[in-house]
Amino acid sequence: MESRKFESRNEPEIIYSRSVKAGKRIYYLDVKKARNDDLYLCMTESKRRQGTDEEPPQFEKHKLFLYKEDFSHFMEGLNDVIGYVRNQVGEIEDREEWSPRESEDQTDSETEAEEESQDEDKPKRGLFGFIKH
């Protein structure tokens, strides 16, 4: 996998990345290398918001940084709450594939390129966001 580095924004180097499509959302799971060469996980939820006739669609993003020393605690908590939900509602069916209306139709690479170009124009927000499951 190609490493992405955004020198102009002084972003940490992404050394491994995977995207997960889930309905109208895309989750990006990026392994980044910190200045001290330590690795950590950056999870980004990206949701496309409908634009108007005058404005293009916007992408709402939330980020969560998870450090390797917290992986086991995070997984324990995540498995616990997923188990709780399964006990409450029973079997959970996978979401059907989401398909945008024809006017919104874009390829994955066009969507990612549009998101990245919008990121460059916005000031950086805080370090923590939400993960919606």
Residues, the chain, total?
Answer: 133
- 102-111, long-range: CB < 8 A, 24+ apart: 104/48, 104/50, 104/57, 111/26, 111/48
Asked if residue 110 lies in contact with residue 117, where contact means CB atoms within 8 angstroms, the answer is no
Q: What angle do CA 37, 29, 24 make, to 5 degrees?
A: 160
CA distance 12 to 76: 27
Asked if residue 40 lies in contact with residue 34, where contact means CB atoms within 8 angstroms, the answer is yes
Write out residues in the chain with pLDDT < 70, as ranges.
Answer: 1-9, 97-133
Domain ranges of the chain: 7-49+56-88+99-121
Task: Give the model's pLDDT for residue 113.
Answer: 53
**Architecture of the domain delimited by 7-49+56-88+99-121:** Roll (3.10)
CA distance 5 to 31: 12
Task: Give the model's pLDDT for residue 52.
Answer: 73
The dihedral over CA atoms of 111, 108, 49, 17, expressed in degrees to the nearest 10, equals -90
Phi then psi dihedrals of residue 51, to 5 deg: -90, 180
